[in-house]
Amino acid sequence: MYELIDTYKLNGQFRWISSQMNRVRNGELYRVIADSKGAFVQPAVYEAFGLTVVEAMTCGLPTFATCKGGPAEIIVDGKSGYHIDPYHGEQAAEILVDFFEKCKKDPSQWDKISQGGLKRIYEKYTWQIYSERLLTLTGVYGFWKHVSNLDRLESRRYIEMFYALKYNKLAEAVPLAVE
């Protein structure tokens, strides 16, 4: 990559961002890149879900991500971002170059893909949508458990184990009100 940067005189045109663990800083990085009309590229060989893709799109970044796994479902190719095949680097490079050449000729192209990404996120990947789906699945599961003849003792043991391992410590950490 460094050789390509030198060959095509791309120094200062893009940034490598290593894995970031600070969620607040991640959001700030995405915003800085979006404010400078940059793009987010995630060339993973396979991505199970694609949280970084959702985060980048939520910040309005045109996003280029692997066509394998979750990003293939998250991105509508050419409308809310672009699919790239990590096994075909030259083809991926052409997609990126084509996008930025279009943006150079017509700056509204960047905004079009940015808005398409935001629209996709608001249609499919908000916390409200997630919680509604989870509640629906919970209701279906609850009804299924009610009408089935499964051993409820096993479920009770699972819930007690979950409480003991996770929620008990959380409950103990809540400070008591001082009168």
Rounded to a whole number, what is the largest CA-CA distance in the chain?
71
The pLDDT, as a whole number, for residue 72 is: 95
- pLDDT for residue 151: 62
Q: Do 83 and 62 meet the contact criterion of CB atoms below 8 Å apart?
A: no
pLDDT, averaged per 10 consecutive residues of the chain (179 residues), comes to: 80 74 81 92 90 94 95 97 94 94 96 98 93 87 71 74 77 74
Distance CA 60, CA 114 (A): 5
Q: So what's the pLDDT on residue 129? A: 92
Predicted local distance difference test score (pLDDT) of residue 163? 78
CA distance 125 to 13: 31
Distance separating alpha carbons of residues 164 and 161, to the nearest angstrom: 5
- 3-state SS assignment for residue 123: helix
Q: What is the pTM of this model?
A: 0.70
Domain CATH for 40: 3.40.50.2000
Q: For residue 45, tell me if it sits in a domain.
A: yes
Q: Give domain status of residue 15, yes or no.
A: yes
Provide the domain limits for residue 45.
Answer: 2-127
